[in-house]
Amino acid sequence: MKTNLKFTVLIAFMFATVVGLAKEPKLSSMTEGPSNSLIVELDSKNKKTALKRSENTKPVFRKKGSRLFLNLLNLDGKDVQIKVYDSDNRTLFSEVIENESIVTKAFNFESAYEDRYTVVVKDGKNTYYDYIVVN
């Protein structure tokens, strides 16, 4: 009896979920990877279906010892702002890179004081963070 009740509740829940999703005019799905994200959006209006795909490239941060390497593919040519903060939120480095399709930067923390540093990269409306700890 309990098994039948559990099975009936499961079927009712699945049916309610499918009916609820069927009424939605817009369905979005997003996958994220280490270097980029892919957004696929399905929009049905007026009984027509349109598929929109947009890909957002993220910067690649690579740490090697006390060094941090930054690579960013900037195909849109937007201004890229790079800042480095310490744990007290003081700005230690700031640079704006304009009209570059490939942004590369290397940070050397070998002679830095023991602290936790934050590297912030802004390209247009997206902001990315990475951290490095110097012991």
Q: Taking Cα atoms as reference points, which of 103, 98, 97 lies closest to residue 70?
A: 103
- CATH number, domain with residue 74: 2.60.40.3080
* Spacing of C-alpha 110 from chain mean position: 29
Write down the pTM of the prediction: 0.61
- pLDDT tens by residue, 11-40: 877 777 766 665 555 545 454 555 455 555
Mention every residue, 6+ apart, whose C-beta is less than 8 A from residue 33. Answer: none
- pLDDT tens by residue, 80-99: 999 999 999 999 999 999 99
Identify the domain containing residue 66 by its residue range. 58-134
Shared domain check, 66 and 50: no
Q: How many domains in the chain?
A: 2
